Structure 1
Amino acid sequence: MLTPLLISFAVLLILRIPVAAAMGISGAIALLSSDMNLPVAVVPQRVFVMLDSTSLLAIPFFILAGAIMERGGMARRMIHFAQTMVGHWRGGLAQVDVLASTIFSSLTGSSAASASATGSILIPAMKRAGYPAGYAAALEASSAAIGPIIPPSIIMVIYGSLAGVSVGAMFLAGIIPGLLITLGLFIVNAIMARRHGWGGGDRVPMRARLIAGRDAGAALLAPVIIIGGILGGVFTPTEAGAVAVVYSAAVGVLVYREVRLRELVGVMREAAVTTGIIGLIIASAGIFGWVLALEQVPQAIVAWVQAVTDSPTIAVLLVIGCVLVIGCVVDVTAAVIILVPVFAPLGLSYGFDPVHFGVIICIALVYGNVTPPVGLLLFLTAAIAKCSVNEVMRNQLPFYMVLTAALGITVAFPGLILLLAK
């Protein structure tokens, strides 16, 4: 089955068939062409099994919460608050973009939502201020990539549900790596601003900062409620998603009054479409991954790595290399579904903490969002900036260095990464 699977998948990708459809079709072809005489009914059965997970309920909740926050004025107020805090730094608008993306990522867990909400406002503003379009888009793509790392994280929900790892613990373990990326982006911006002469705005008086903080207070309270509730054991990550929906709707309708009740129907429709797309990816990747499991590909990879080295460090570097390659050609959501059954047992066999190993995989997968040919954030931010993807890529190198450094620290210092998760 493996040969028909890989050949059909490669052909479908070459024909520019969407990755989700390519995985589902190639998986079905492999199953139906095998000598195991499997019935056609096994395909929808595997789809149902893949989606039948309580943990996955967190995904539509956080997607809906993010959509309400974006429509309800929360994103705009957070950007204004970020501007009062760091807008006077060297490269002020670029620094505002990083801080705003970090805050918004802590609300939605979606890199695409973060890029759309903050990028649509800040990329045009950076272009007007003299920043090259490619740099503005590359920065937004890299800062939005924090979304799958800082809790809540959609790919961590998927990883935890498939690997049997606590999603709440993974959320907490993602906080420090996410903040390390934020710090690294601040430093890169400062260096680039000094090199190109990009200045900052006027320092905002403390009174104006307090006013901006009060105006954005309801929005800034959301991550405290979500993360604090999980950390305090008040609710599970899935319940946190439901709380985020109720809270964002209450703030958007009753506090900021920028969303009318009848408009929530349209917001829910948009969120349902996004959820459906992710669900299709999960279902298709489930079929693809099940074929790999039937062919014992995970066991073969584990055996190969164990034959190559006894060192956990070299083993995890090999895993990261495989993840980076797969992330370049497969959507991040699909990649995590395919890779978890392969690499989660490998991490355990080398003595890695399952939460720590899961965070390593998720950070490595983030590269998939900012690398061609399927890097969603590259195409999204290039469209907002009205420039080519090649122009974005020419400005991406220093931001890759930040992601690499954060990944290296995550691998080397498990005690630091797991500090909040204990």
Structure 2
Amino acid sequence: MLITLAVAFFGLLLLRVPVAAAMGLSGALALLTSPMRLPLEVVPQRLFVLIDSTSLLAIPFFILAGAIMERGGLSRRMIGLAEAMVGHWRGGLAQVDVAASAIFSSLTGSSAASASATGSIMIPAMKRAGYPAGYAAALEASSAAIGPIIPPSIIMVVYGSLAGVSVGDLFLAGIVPGILITIGLFVVNYIEADRHGWGGAEKATWRARFAAARHAVAALITPLIIIGGILFGVFTPTEAGAVAVVYALGVTLFLYRSMTMAELGRAVADAALTTGIVGLIIAAAGVFGWVLALERVPTTIVATVQALTDSPWIAVAIIVAFVLVIGCFVDVTAAVIVLVPVLHPLGLAYGFDPVHFGIILCVALVYGNVTPPVGLLLYLTARIADCSVTEVMRHQIPFYIVLSLALLLTILLPGLVLFLTRI
């Protein structure tokens, strides 16, 4: 059954079948050909079981809040704030793109939403300023990858739900790796700008900076409401998502008055489409993961790694390498669902803090967003930049170095990563 599952899954991926369909179909085929003679009714049952979770209701709420903010023009306010703060640095537009993506990531928790919102504005602006299309797309893809790391994070909600780990602690622990990636991207931009002569804009006055901050401050409060409410026990992550939606509506409809009812309808439609895609991925991954569990793959992997080494650091190196390979082929949300039941017990067996181990996996899975052949952000930003994925990949290497260093520091410095959770 396991061979059938693997061959069918990778065969469907090679045929460019969407990941959700590939996981669901390969899982169903494995069950059909199983010597256990399991009834096909098991497939819809497993599709439903995983998504029948109250904690996962946070996902559509966060997606809707992000869609409302994007349609309500908050991405432009974020870009205006970033431009006032860092636009005068060398490689100014590129630095603005990184800062705006980091800020917007803290509002949506979705890399795709961040790439769409900031990329649709910043990539054309960078091309007009003389930046290569491939570089602009690669930078935006890498910047948007911060989305699943800086809270709120959709994949952390999924991870916490499956592993029984505090989502609030995961949110707090994701802040440091997110900041490390942001700083690394700033440094790469500075070096590339120095090589190619990309200058910055005129330095904004402090009055202009305060004005930009005033225009964006209501939006910037959103992550504080979400994280603060969860940590102080005011509401659960699911309730936090609902509060974020209500707050986003209040800001865009009544405070800024930047969104019409027609635009609100389009935001709801966008969120419904994205939620449907994510839900289908989660459900299909549930079938796929259940087949793995039937074949005792989690137990086998734990026993195999423990037989190879007693060192937790060698073990985590093996785990990260495995996750990076999986991330090359599987959507990041699906990868979380499939890998958590397999790898979470392994992390606990080697004595890793469950929150720290969860952040390691989440940062490693970020590679899935920017790694071919499935990397969603590569294709999304290449389409916005009107260039090929091959051209984007030519400029991607220094950004992979940034992600690698951030991952290494996340692994080696648990005290730094968990610092905010222990305050």
Q: TM-score if structure 2 supplies the norm length?
A: 0.98
- CA offsets per residue over residues 265-285 of structure 1, 9 Å max, x none? 232122111101000000001
Partner of 1:277: 277
Shift of 1:257: 1.2
SS at match of 1:143: helix
The yes-or-no answer on 1:171 pairing with 2:180 is no
SS at match of 2:35: coil
Partner of 1:408: 408
The yes-or-no answer on 1:342 pairing with 2:342 is yes
Partner of 1:50: 50
2:226 alignment partner AA:
I
SS at match of 2:392: helix
Partner of 1:40: 40
Shift of 1:262: 4.3
Structure 2's unaligned 5+ residue stretches are none
Shift of 1:37: 2.1
Partner of 2:238: 238
- CA offsets per residue over residues 228-258 of structure 1, 9 Å max, x none? 2223332222111111101111111111112
- CA offsets per residue over residues 273-315 of structure 1, 9 Å max, x none? 1101000000001000000000001111111111111100000
Partner of 1:365: 365
The yes-or-no answer on 1:300 pairing with 2:300 is yes
SS at match of 1:402: helix
Partner of 2:250: 250
1:220 alignment partner AA:
L
Partner of 1:330: 330
Cα distance between partner residues in 1 of 2:420 and 2:231:
9
Q: Would you say the 8 A contact 2:71–2:264 is kept in 1?
A: no
Most deviating of 6-15 and 21-30: 6-15
Cα distance between partner residues in 2 of 1:122 and 1:234:
37
Cα distance between partner residues in 2 of 1:389 and 1:266:
29
Partner of 2:161: 161
Where do 1:177-192 residues align within 5 Å?
177-192=177-192
1:272 alignment partner AA:
A
SS at match of 2:259: coil
CA root-mean-square deviation: 1.0
Partner of 1:228: 228
Cα distance between partner residues in 2 of 1:157 and 1:94:
30
Shift of 1:40: 1.7
SS at match of 2:146: coil
Cα distance between partner residues in 2 of 1:307 and 1:321:
17
2:114 alignment partner AA:
S
Partner of 1:18: 18
Partner of 2:385: 385
- CA offsets per residue over residues 344-390 of structure 1, 9 Å max, x none? 00000000001100000000000010010010000001111111111
1:292 alignment partner AA:
L
- CA offsets per residue over residues 95-143 of structure 1, 9 Å max, x none? 1011100000001000000000000001111111111111111110001
Most deviating of 231-240 and 345-354: 231-240
Partner of 1:121: 121
Shift of 1:15: 1.7
2:123 alignment partner AA:
I
2:40 alignment partner AA:
V
Most deviating of 34-43 and 72-81: 34-43
Where do 1:347-358 residues align within 5 Å?
347-358=347-358
Cα distance between partner residues in 1 of 2:331 and 2:203:
42
Cα distance between partner residues in 2 of 1:280 and 1:194:
45
SS at match of 2:420: coil
Shift of 1:400: 0.5
Cα distance between partner residues in 2 of 1:374 and 1:286:
19
Most deviating of 226-235 and 378-387: 226-235
How many residue pairs match? The answer is 422
Shift of 1:42: 1.0
The yes-or-no answer on 1:260 pairing with 2:260 is yes
Partner of 1:85: 85
Cα distance between partner residues in 2 of 1:101 and 1:230:
24
Most deviating of 312-321 and 182-191: 182-191
Cα distance between partner residues in 1 of 2:199 and 2:7:
52
Shift of 1:155: 0.6
The yes-or-no answer on 1:204 pairing with 2:204 is yes
2:228 alignment partner AA:
G
Q: Would you say the 8 A contact 1:172–1:231 is kept in 2?
A: no
Q: Would you say the 8 A contact 2:71–2:263 is kept in 1?
A: no
Shift of 1:396: 0.6
Shift of 1:166: 1.0
Cα distance between partner residues in 2 of 1:136 and 1:14:
28
Cα distance between partner residues in 2 of 1:68 and 1:239:
17
Shift of 1:218: 1.2
SS at match of 2:16: coil
Partner of 1:149: 149
Cα distance between partner residues in 1 of 2:46 and 2:269:
27
2:366 alignment partner AA:
V
2:116 alignment partner AA:
S
Q: Would you say the 8 A contact 1:5–1:26 is kept in 2?
A: yes
Structure 1's unaligned 5+ residue stretches are none
Tell me the percent identity: 73
Q: Would you say the 8 A contact 1:73–1:256 is kept in 2?
A: no
- CA offsets per residue over residues 44-100 of structure 1, 9 Å max, x none? 111111111111111100100000000101111111011001000111111101110
Cα distance between partner residues in 2 of 1:416 and 1:205:
34
